[in-house]
Amino acid sequence: MTRARVDKYISVFNIGLQNTFVYRWNYFLRALFGLIPLAGTVFLWSAVFKERGHGLHGYDYGSMIYYYLLTILVSNLVTPTEDEWQIAADIREGQINALLTKPMSYLAYRFSIFLSGRLVYTFVTLPPIGLIFLYFHNYIIPPDDPMIYLYAFISTLMAAFIQFFITYSLAMMAFWILEISTVVFIVYSFEYFLGGQMFPIDIMPAGIQAVMKWMPFYYELFCPVAIFLERLRGPALFQALAIQTGWLFLTWAAARGMWRRGLSHYQAVGG
């Protein structure tokens, strides 16, 4: 029974892989042009450090560039690509009706498609990202401790799951409202600002950092990058991994809860 269930989702993964690979050039161009803001970031921080004449909270120009290179890499590895719009379309257009009659979890079904999409997206976007890393190779200082790679990998994996579960929960709003774009863009704005894409979280005042460490956004991108840069060490590292694990289970529970409530509403109104 367990093998049959696993095979079922492997089939979904393979179908998602084939469908996603059709759009490989879209992904490549998106990744390529997505690197353009890096040029602006390089000029911005060059001007900042030139004006200050010294470092900023432990960052110098080189480590700041290295930080942004890692955020680009991790973002491409973990961020869902249009999953919320596809899920919302399934709900809005009634396509989930066909899935409700099958012995299949919709969450697991969408997660299988998410994994296939991440695999293709990573495969297609790594070459341009690799070229950028090669260009800035003088600023790249890999960790010496092999355990750092393991901790960063675990944190990156959890970051991907957290982002997916949040995306899934947002898409569940389609059970109640016709257009979810406003809600999605509001949440994504918080993610961009509080997740470390705009600036490193640890350059903020200590009090603000203390609050942000309890928010899920901190663990969607910044946490794995900070671990790899060894800016989270010792007890702080293990505390971050523990809180990230907590958010992983909370977002998973939220995703399941939103599906159950949304499905009850959907069936009640005759969807």
Question: Taking the domains of the chain in order of start, what are their residue ranges?
Answer: 2-268
Q: Answer yes or no: are the C-beta atoms of 213 and 241 closer than 8 Å.
A: no
Tens of pLDDT, residue by residue over 63-95, are: 888 898 898 889 888 888 778 888 888 888 888
User: What are the residue ranges in the chain where pLDDT is below 50?
Assistant: 1
Tens of pLDDT, residue by residue over 117-136, are: 787 777 777 787 888 888 88
Q: Which residue type occupies 79? A: T
Q: What is the DSSP letter of 174?
A: G
H-helix or E-strand containing 122? helix 106-135
What residue has token string 């969450």?
Answer: 107
Whole-angstrom Cα distance, residue 72 to residue 98?
A: 37
Q: Answer yes or no: are the C-beta atoms of 159 and 219 closer than 8 Å.
A: yes
Q: What is the DSSP letter of 172?
A: G
